[in-house]
Copies of this chain bind each other. A is one copy, B any other.
Amino acid sequence: MELHEPELREVPVTAVLAALADDVRLQIVRALAEGGEYACGTFEFGVSKATRSHHLKVLREAGLTRTRVAGTSRCVRLRREELDRLYPGLLDAVLTAPAHS
């Protein structure tokens, strides 16, 4: 299993923004911002595991997360430092934004 984790600067800004412009993914990012590393299975956001897997793939390929393989599980974490370096203020702005509207 090869995990495609692009260099952040090779990802179009629009892709990063698009990855964040989804309710489910934003919840995932918020959760990741709290704890350090999450097992994929700990996410329960009212979507099927297929959908969850899809969203985590989008986040990963947008350069937002890094995934570590641990047996049959995956451990996901935010690429916070890199993101803050390339897009200073972006994550903070999104995370401190009011959760509902």
Contacts and interface: CB of A to CB of B under 8 A. Distances in A.
Interface string A31-63: 000000000000000000000000000000000
A89 B93 contact: yes
B17 A23 contact: no
Interface residues of A, number: 26
Interface of A is mostly: helix
Given A14-B21, A90-B94, 13 more contacts: A10-B101, A12-B101, A14-B22, A14-B23, A17-B18, A17-B21, A18-B18, A87-B94, A88-B89, A89-B89, A89-B90, A89-B93, A90-B90
Interface of A: 9-15, 17-18, 20-23, 26, 86-90, 92-94, 97-98, 100-101
